[in-house]
Amino acid sequence: MENNLSRSGSRSSSVCELEKDLSDLEIMKSRTNRRNVMVRSQPARKAKRIRFFRNGDKFYSGVIIPVLPERYRSFDSLTADLTRVLVDNVTLPSGVRTIYSLEGRKIGKLDDLEDGQSYVCSGFGEPFKRIDYKASAVTPQSFRLSGPESLTDSASPSPARANNRLSRYLQTNGSNSTGNETPRISPAGDNVVRPRIVTIIRNGVKPRKVCRLLLNKRNSPTLEHALAAITECIKLDTGCVRKVFSQSGSPVNALNQFFEEEDVFFAYGNERVNQEDFELEFEESKAVLQCRKIKYNPVTRNARSGPKPRMPVKASGAARKKSEDGAAGDGDGNGDESALASLLPQPLRLKYSVGKIIGDGNFAVVRMCKDKSTGKEYALKVIDKAKCKGKEHYVEAEVRVMRKLCHPRIVSLIEDQDSPEWLFLIMELVGGGDLFDSIAAASKFPEPQARLLIAHLTSAIAYLHSLSIVHRDIKPENLLVDIGLDGSIRGLKLADFGLAVEVWRPLHAVCGTPTYVAPEILLETGYGLKIDVWAAGVILYILLCGFPPFSSPDGDQEKLFDAILSARLEFPAPHWERVSAGAIDLIANMLRPQPVLRFDAEDVLDHAWMSDDYDETCDFRTWYDDDDSS
Ligand SMILES: Nc1ncnc2c1ncn2[C@@H]1O[C@H](COP(=O)(O)OP(=O)(O)OP(=O)(O)O)[C@@H](O)[C@H]1O
């Protein structure tokens, strides 16, 4: 047994050989010690890389999907996944019902699929159509922009074409090229640069990071600048971006190549370029498609018919109603402070005088209070323990989390005390009400104002996430605003940590507020920190147009959840006509359905639109002109 172990560890065996060694080992172990077998981890199995075509579609170059038993436990789960990816690209109304080999043999189980082979997906009741599917896989991409298929083609590159170009590159540069040779710098011709969003795939382990980047005259006056912008966008582990290839395999050595037909690029540091790099994995294809969908779908002027969606209704102050017969608050927001003061634990009663109600939620009433010795005002949150029955752990977590936090964009906890019935939190007072009311008053915000608010919110989220804390209830009602003397919003602070927890492993509790809930929470597949970025993306969308990205016309929650899960992000005219491409790009990256591809808080802060000198007036018009022509 030891021999087996050292053998497989010391030689450079293929994955198959290693698997065999390990399965031999497993059998031997299972004979001697069942418990050991239970705890031994499974050997990593290699994915079968399979290309799937659409039955009878000679223009669709197919999609490559890595098929792993861990990913697909049944044949049906594979067809369901294929349906999801294919319906975006080809006409397939009934979804994938049957899979055939290229010769027309029906495939009935996952084991029948062979690594490196191609198969054909057909819909309900469709007979197999015998055409030269592989010819479509090597069709040059020049027909790309002619219709919906264009999405497909760019998501699944033409490997043959890429390989030819790449071979030429490798012959010229040597296959062991370190890539240190920086591409020739060509100055921008006067008309070369126009605002354009490109998709950048960062070289690395698949599935690779897929980013979108807005190139314009500001960040890309020369090829050198464009490479610097790409470096900044993708954060290459190995330093600067030194080589960029288009999806068809052409090395990018002139600035104009970023502004021509192709808009998907692969970025490298000093690493070697391999032909397989130009094949996209399933997740990567989906991400690229998502980028394109966002680019092409949303910004048509008449994208959505019907009435403008409305903002959700603010959660009613349940606590306020309770206050009519309790001491925590009262119906008109004033009075009965003395009744509450008598409930305060003595140390608080001696130190603070209690004032009027300034807010309420489902579990608490919040009042003004004043430090008697300094005259400084604070917010006193009175949590009704009776309302938290069965959820005491949330209340404990709220206090525990708040005690840890110290950030200028997070409401700070000054002190806390509890009694058998109530929990009292003395907090920093933020005097301008909450963002929900500001949105209701303003309807929507100019971009610089939205940028400031999102910068404050995201820096609070980035701080929380650096401590592995997820807030889980980011929404306008929980963002308290600072109002200047002229009535303008000067900034915001994140409040209400009632659902916040530390994340050490994927969370599964379904919680939050429907309009802001991320798809992975609804899918119940486990979620983490990125749900806060999703919620912030929803808020940014609302700030810029006055209504949420996902809603249900009749207020039906199931339909709202369906809309969130469908991930169809739209930026309908006329509401989005005058919003910059950069803002749209940022929202699209914050609202990516796949958490792994979604921006994290730091990515948001690093986005070009977030910079103070971002000029939103320079790019929105061209963006629309682009889209109209496509
Ligand atoms: N520090 C503060 N300064 C000023 N106003 C505050 C402060 N904290 C809370 N508020 C106001 O009180 C309201 C309710 O507070 P909070 O959201 O913390 O209560 P909750 O019962 O925990 O809410 P939820 O129902 O969302 O759980 C807020 O929407 C806000 O208007």
Is pLDDT at 66 greater than 50 in this prediction? yes
Residue 356 backbone dihedrals phi, psi, to 5 degrees: -75, 165
164, two tokens: 């030819």
Q: What is the DSSP secondary structure assignment for residue 251, as one 8-state letter?
A: B
DSSP string over 478-525: GEEEEE-TTS-EEEEEE---TT-EE-SS-B----S-GGG--HHHHHTS
CA-closest residue to ligand 1 atom 21: 361
Residue 413: the pLDDT is 96
Residue 248: the pLDDT is 80
Residue 299: the pLDDT is 33
- 602-621: pLDDT as tens digits: 999 999 999 988 876 655 43
CA-closest residue to ligand 1 atom 10: 359
Residue 619: the pLDDT is 53
Amino acid symbol at 15: V
Residue 623 backbone dihedrals phi, psi, to 5 degrees: -55, -45
Residue 195: the pLDDT is 55
Residue 303: the pLDDT is 43
CA-closest residue to ligand 1 atom 14: 360
Contacts of 137 (CB under 8 A, 6+ apart): 51, 53, 61, 62, 118, 158, 159, 160
- Check residues 8 and 480 and name the one with the higher pLDDT: 480
Intra-chain end-to-end CA distance of the chain, in Å: 63
pLDDT (average), residues 369-398: 89
Distance between CA 283 and CA 208 in Å, rounded? Answer: 9
CB-based burial, 370-405: b 16+ in 10 Å, e otherwise? beeeeeeebbbbbbbbebbeeeeebbebbbebbeeb
Lay out the sheet containing 106-107: strands in order across. Answer: 63-67, 48-54, 118-122, 98-101, 106-107
Is pLDDT at 321 greater than 60 in this prediction? no
Query: Which residues make up each annotated binding site for ATP?
Result: 381
Is pLDDT at 5 greater than 60 in this prediction? no
Measured from the CB, is residue 358 less than 6 Å from ligand 1?
Answer: yes
Element (H, E) at 377: strand 377-384
pTM over 0.90: no
- 409-443: pLDDT as tens digits: 999 999 999 888 899 999 999 999 999 989 988 88
Distance between CA 531 and CA 519 in Å, rounded? Answer: 8
Element (H, E) at 49: strand 48-54
- Nearest atom in ligand 1 to the alpha carbon of residue 437 is 31
Question: Do residues 596 and 282 make contact, with C-beta atoms less than 8 angstroms apart?
Answer: no
- Lowest-pLDDT choice from 331-340, 370-379, 500-509, 608-617: 331-340
Taking alpha carbons only, the member of 251, 242, 246, 245 closest to residue 224 is 242
- Nearest atom in ligand 1 to the alpha carbon of residue 499 is 27
- 194-219: pLDDT as tens digits: 656 788 998 888 888 888 776 766 67
How long, in residues, is the chain? Answer: 630
Amino acid symbol at 497: F
Measured from the CB, is residue 476 less than 6 Å from ligand 1?
Answer: no
Distance between CA 203 and CA 210 in Å, rounded? Answer: 10
Cα 93 to Cα 84, 86, 97, 220, 272: the distances in Å are: 11, 10, 11, 42, 42
pLDDT (average), residues 269-281: 83
> Which of the given ranges, 175-184, 365-374, 384-393, 572-581, has the highest pLDDT on average?
365-374
Is pLDDT at 164 greater than 70 in this prediction? no
Q: Pairing mode, if any, of strands 489-494 and 479-483?
A: antiparallel
Centre of ligand 1 to C-alpha 186, Å, is 56
Centre of ligand 1 to C-alpha 280, Å, is 47
Residue 191: the pLDDT is 65
Contacts of 623 (CB under 8 A, 6+ apart): 195, 299, 580, 581, 584
DSSP string over 276-308: GGGSPPHHHHHHHHHHHHHHHTTTSTT---SSP
Measured from the CB, is residue 359 less than 6 Å from ligand 1?
Answer: yes
* 232 strand-pairing partners: none
Q: Is the bond into 446 cis (omega within 30 degrees of 0)?
A: no
pLDDT (average), residues 456-479: 96
Measured from the CB, is residue 478 less than 6 Å from ligand 1?
Answer: yes
- 114-155: pLDDT as tens digits: 988 999 999 878 889 888 888 766 533 222 222 222 222 333
Band (pLDDT 50/70/90 cuts) for residue 283 is: confident
> Is 606 an active-site residue?
no
Is pLDDT at 33 greater than 60 in this prediction? no
Catalytic option among 384, 434, 473, 585: 473
* 367 strand-pairing partners: 357, 380
305 burial (CB, 10 Å; 0-12 / 13-18 / 19+) is: exposed
CA-closest residue to ligand 1 atom 4: 430
Residue 322: the pLDDT is 36
436, two tokens: 């929900």
Q: What is the DSSP secondary structure assignment for residue 249, as one 8-state letter?
A: S
Measured from the CB, is residue 430 less than 6 Å from ligand 1?
Answer: yes
Band (pLDDT 50/70/90 cuts) for residue 318 is: very low
> Which of the given ranges, 245-249, 311-315, 575-579, has the highest pLDDT on average?
575-579
Distance between CA 526 and CA 506 in Å, rounded? Answer: 5
Counting residues of the chain whose pLDDT is more than 90, the rounded percentage is 33
Distance between CA 274 and CA 206 in Å, rounded? Answer: 13
Element (H, E) at 589: helix 581-590
- 212-270: pLDDT as tens digits: 776 766 677 788 888 888 887 787 766 788 889 988 888 898 888 888 878 889 999 88
Element (H, E) at 424: strand 422-428
- Nearest atom in ligand 1 to the alpha carbon of residue 363 is 21
Distance between CA 498 and CA 476 in Å, rounded? Answer: 15
E-strand stretches of 86-225: 98-101, 106-107, 118-122, 196-202, 210-215
* 53 strand-pairing partners: 120
411, two tokens: 């409401």
524: left (phi over 0), alpha (psi -120 to 50) or beta: left
Q: Is 527 helix (H, G, I), strand (E, B) or coil?
A: strand
Lay out the sheet containing 352-360: strands in order across. Answer: 352-360, 364-371, 377-384, 422-428, 413-418
- Nearest atom in ligand 1 to the alpha carbon of residue 431 is 4
Cα 62 to Cα 80, 129, 163: the distances in Å are: 16, 15, 17
pLDDT (average), residues 37-58: 65
pLDDT (average), residues 526-542: 97
Question: Do residues 571 and 295 make contact, with C-beta atoms less than 8 angstroms apart?
Answer: no
Taking alpha carbons only, the member of 158, 131, 190, 164 closest to residue 51 is 158
Average pLDDT in the chain:
75
Count other C-beta atoms under 10 Å from residue 5's C-beta: 12
pLDDT (average), residues 266-279: 85
Band (pLDDT 50/70/90 cuts) for residue 81 is: confident
